[in-house]
Amino acid sequence: MTFLYPGFLWALFALAIPVIVHLFNFRRTQKIYFSSTRFIREVQETSSAKRKLKHWLVLATRLLFLFFLVIVFAQPILPAKEQLQAGENIVIYLDNSQSMSAPTEGAAQAFDASLVAASTITDAFPADTRYRLLTNDFNPFANSLKTKAEVKEELAKLRISGKSRTAGEVMSRLQKLGGEKQVFWLSDFQKSTLGQPIVADSNYSFHLVPLRTNVKSNIFIDTVYMDNPFAVGGELNALTVKLLNDGDEDRRQINVRLVIDDLQVGTANTDIPANGTAEVNFSLPGTMEGMHKATLSLADAPITFDNDFYLVLNFASRIRVVSIEGNNTSIIPKVFGNNKLFDFVAIAGNNIDYSLLSKADLLIINEVVQLDQALQTVLQDFLSVGGSVLIIPAANPALDSYRSLIPAIVKSSQSKPLELSKPDSKNPFFENVFQEAPTQIAMPAVKNSIDWGLDRQAILKQQDDRPYLSQFSTTGKLYVLGGPLKIEFGSFFNHSLVVPVMYRMAAFSRRNQVQLYHALTVPTLRFRADSLEANQLIVLQGMNQVVPAQRLVNQEVLGDLSGLDIEAGHYYAKANADTLSILAFNQQNLESRLNTLSNSELEAYFGEGVDVYELTADSTTAMADALKENYQGNPLWKYALIISLIFLLMEILILSFWR
């Protein structure tokens, strides 16, 4: 124990005054005359002893009253457990992610409780203390130290953000901002978003304020996919929605609605077991073409930030296919002759219009014997920007001209056709192609004119494991077929399998394919640049308007989304008045997983020696007291004042009632 004002202890010498007064009064005698004292001597001796006891008790109460009164002015205090060094400042990290919207035991949002806690922290330190307030937005406010008043003003403006940060990201940001070592960390400490444990650093003092929620179950949409992800307009399709129950309670009759272009087109109900999953399906209208905004909604309280899931349904009208023909009798024009599905152009191999190639989704090199240097360069550039190329070799191709694309190409030694093995229905290439596993299908026999080595991942293989159709993926997709599509090299050209295989390659090659949805954390986006003018910016318009940093690379615009304030929802990618695409952004479902670290787990995560403050909606006063005890010490003058008043009251009672 120490004293804030030890100079007042000199006043303890005043304790001698009541002692002197009392001693003087004890020695003063008074004569009393009686006619006879013989009969009262015994009573007199008894009364004198009682008076002496009374006087000593009065003296004691007065001394103790004065003693504790002096102690009150000297301000006794128990030293603080932690001391701020001169000029030391405070960092407050406040987690304002979506999960902080969950209610606490006091029925308030965890985010609201964290705002009160942050304000309480600023009240616990001296007026000259400066603060650095950091949130998940990593906004410029944290770049400089602020006063208590400025922090409280900023707290009043804070809102829940769609951004989520790992502990590693927060620490990296703190290290870049400044050297403050006293860190108050206000969060729900989700297991799913914290990431790897922080490497122990003795220079930092962590003071953790976990916001405990009372949510027992949360339903959210885990994944969504179309049964045919490369559907073309007019085709029947279905949407499959996978729901997840993150909790220990079974949930029944969860209603899911599908809204397309602001019109509800379907609903579904399902039961989801505790910590389990369930799926619902929605049939999509067969008349849909082009791109459409879609929203999946479910009713689940009290966690509502993940109740809406945004999609873009893309039914492209036609896929652009350009075939460079070296054989006038090719079946390729017939395969892609459906004008509703394909925009097909055939070019003679000896008269190539190179301006058409860059606009294609799929380029087909069909039985071209010799690839000249210009065509080799165009094909390499086309693949480097994400294009797709199908090579159907001639019977005797000039192998040297193909080696820039297929380094391992050699002439095939196969002498007679061999039957193909049945397609692997688990291969992503054949997903949703077959209603049932193709066990009964009669496979065609084929003969290769070229070989390129063993390929265990080949799309189609002969029964001796020789690859017949392989895919080589770099930036784009290069498909290689083993031989020409004519009768001398087998029956594949007129087999029922040829059309779905060719259609599948065309569908996978669609360069303007729009994903169903993006996570808010996606770093970049790609846009076709065919119709863009020089220096024309792409703007994303939706919940707000943002302009990503952009650069043009090989007829594609790359948009950098890092640091942009994008919220979940639909966005239109526009260049002036033209709409290039529609995009859907969703919060990562990690935020929907509400399991949090316990106190013991927090100590293991941040290292031993961390302070953990228990906080609920109604315990901020207790937290303030704990902070003051830790950093300001525990003042005892109130107790000294109470004790002094007790002795004063005792003196009054003794003088009043002791006769």
CATH H superfamily, domain 319-508: Class I glutamine amidotransferase (GATase) domain (3.40.50.880)
pLDDT of residue 237: 81
pLDDT for 277-298, tens place per residue? 999 999 987 677 778 999 999 9
Q: How confident is the model at residue 80 (pLDDT cuts 50, 70, 90)?
A: low
Provide the β-strand partners of residue 73. Answer: none
Return the CATH architecture of domain 90-215+597-632: 3-Layer(aba) Sandwich (3.40)
Compare 218 and 105 and report the one with higher pLDDT.
Answer: 218
| pLDDT at residue 626, as a whole number | 62
Per-residue pLDDT tens over the stretch 145-196: 999 999 999 999 999 888 888 988 898 888 888 777 888 899 989 998 888 8
CA-based nearest residue to 360, from 333, 337, 385: 385
| Alpha carbon distance 466, 458 (integer Å) | 9
| Nearest-angstrom CA–CA distance, 389 and 477 | 6
Higher pLDDT, residue 72 or 632: 72
Sequential DSSP letters for 114-177: HHHHHHHHHHTS-TT--EEEEETT--GGGGS-B-HHHHHHHHHH----S----HHHHHHHHHHH
Q: Is-cis flag, bond preceding 548, omega within 30?
A: no
pLDDT at residue number 434? 62
Q: How confident is the model at residue 28 (pLDDT cuts 50, 70, 90)?
A: low
Answer yes or no: CATH 2.60.40.10 is held by domain 217-316.
yes
Closest CA to 122 of 627, 600, 488: 627
* 224 Cβ contact list (under 8 Å, min separation 6): 239, 240, 241, 242, 296, 309, 311, 516, 517
* 476-to-78, 338, 379, 489 alpha-carbon distances in Å: 71, 25, 11, 28
Average pLDDT across the chain, whole number: 82
* 15: confidence class by pLDDT, cuts 50, 70, 90: confident
Strand order in the sheet with 388-392: 342-348, 319-325, 362-366, 388-392, 477-481, 467-473, 460-461
The string of pLDDT tens digits covering residues 391-402 is 999 999 999 999
pLDDT-derived band at 113, boundaries 50, 70, 90:
confident
At 501-554, the pLDDT tens digits run 998 888 888 765 678 898 888 888 877 666 666 677 888 998 888 888 888 765
- pTM score: 0.66
Q: In this structure, are residues 333 and 342 in contact, taking their beta carbons and an 8 Å threshold?
A: no
Over its C-alpha atoms, the chain yields an Rg (Å, rounded) of: 41
Question: In terms of C-beta distances under 8 Å and separation of at least 24 residues, what long-range contacts does 370-378 make, across chains too?
Answer: 370/397, 370/398, 370/401, 371/398, 371/401, 371/402, 371/404, 371/405, 372/401, 375/324, 376/401, 376/404, 376/405, 378/354
Query: Residue 70 in contact with residue 8, Cβ under 8 Å?
Result: yes
Sheet holding 131-135, edge to edge: 131-135, 90-94, 182-187, 205-210, 611-612
Residue with tokens 């009768």: 487
CA angle 231, 237, 238 (to 5 degrees): 130
Residue 559: predicted pLDDT: 85
